[in-house]
């Protein structure tokens, strides 16, 4: 090999090395950008969840008219953008909260189930939505249990009322029989007293 070939080879190796370093630096910066982007998304999602929790806290203290207004505004916002997860979660919260004037556990449960099935939630949003969904399931079970107990109580009350009527009727018959017996005894006693 000649000196000129060695120089050309060294120059080529130097250029390749420089290109490799640049590519390595470039891939590191892309990874850092991706990491920064993911952490920014995580932070945004956490802020959304905090905002939703703050909404929950403030919504419970509103007047019924204000609650209805916010409900209507949220429904309007969803008409324009049905896939807005944030607004859908707010709507589900309004429908599931015990102090809400627009409470409808069944609608909330269906809405939350749809949100969970879409499987596009961040982990913190998923935790909140799953918690709300479990709450609506428990509320539904409790409402069903209350209805069943109310039916049992109503059946027991009806049975009690029927038994009371039978008791009253039997007591009336007993009093009538006593009156008849008394009348018969008085009749029997009167002729015996006559000489």
Taking CA 58 as the corner, what is the angle to CA 52 and CA 63, rounded to the nearest 5 degrees? 135
Residue 151, pLDDT score: 94
Higher pLDDT, 101 or 5: 101
Tell me how many helices (H) and strands (E) the chain has.
5, 0
Average pLDDT of span 124-152:
90
Band (pLDDT 50/70/90 cuts) for residue 50 is confident
- C-alpha torsion angle, residues 66, 72, 74, 76 (rounded to 10): -150
For residue 164, pLDDT beyond 90: yes
Give the pLDDT of residue 153: 94
Tokens matching residue 124: 């913190």
Domain boundaries, given as residue ranges, for the chain: 45-151
* Sign of the CA dihedral running 18, 21, 26, 29: negative
Q: What predicted TM-score, i.e. pTM, was given to this entire model? A: 0.61
pLDDT beyond 80 at 11: no
How does the average pLDDT of the chain come out, rounded? 81
Mean pLDDT of 106-125: 87
pLDDT for the residue 45: 76
Query: Is the pLDDT reported for residue 193 higher than 70?
Result: no
State the pLDDT at residue 155: 93
Q: Categorize the per-residue pLDDT at 52 as very low, low, confident or very high, splitting at 50, 70 and 90.
A: confident
pLDDT at 150 over 70: yes
């Amino acid at each position: 090999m000649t000196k000129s070939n060695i120089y050309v080879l060294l120059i080529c190796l130097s250029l390749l090395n420089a290109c490799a370093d640049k590519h390595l630096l470039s891939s590191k910066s892309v990874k850092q950008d991706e990491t920064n982007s993911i952490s920014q998304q995580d932070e945004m999602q956490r802020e959304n969840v905090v905002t939703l929790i703050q909404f929950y806290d403030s919504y419970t203290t509103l007047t019924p008219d204000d609650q209805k207004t916010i409900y209507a505004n949220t429904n309007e916002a969803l008409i324009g953008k049905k896939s807005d997860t944030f607004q859908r979660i707010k709507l589900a919260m309004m429908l599931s909260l015990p102090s809400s004037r627009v409470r409808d556990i069944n609608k909330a449960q269906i809405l939350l189930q749809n949100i969970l099935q879409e499987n596009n939630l961040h982990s913190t949003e998923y935790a909140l939505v799953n918690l709300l969904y479990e709450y609506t399931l428990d509320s539904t079970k409790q409402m069903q249990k209350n209805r069943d107990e109310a039916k049992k109580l109503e059946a027991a009350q009806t049975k009690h009322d029927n038994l009371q009527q039978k008791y009253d009727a039997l007591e009336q018959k007993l009093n009538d029989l006593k009156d008849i017996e008394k009348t018969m005894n008085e009749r029997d006693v009167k002729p015996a007293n006559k000489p």
